[in-house]
Amino acid sequence: MNPYKLKAIVEYIRRQGRLPEDQFGNVLPPADILVLCGLNDLLSVGEQRMVRRELEALVDAQIVIDQLKANMP
């Protein structure tokens, strides 16, 4: 995948604010985010795999930030 395309997709998702959550407040898995954004129809299987890896990193980062916020006085 073109690295600029990957970066543009990830930045677009990040600009939307918090990552999408389920009804219990848990961040959706990367595969579900791909479907929600309609990327499963726009990207090849290989491209989807690359975007999922980037989204996994974003999910991990958001979880850590949420934990930090919860532990701040």
pLDDT tens digit sequence for 18-38:
899 999 988 999 999 999 999
pTM (2 decimals)?
0.84
Distance separating alpha carbons of residues 33 and 51, to the nearest angstrom: 10
Band of pLDDT at residue 73, cut at 50, 70 and 90: confident
H helices within 1-73, ranges in order? 3-15, 30-37, 39-42, 45-71
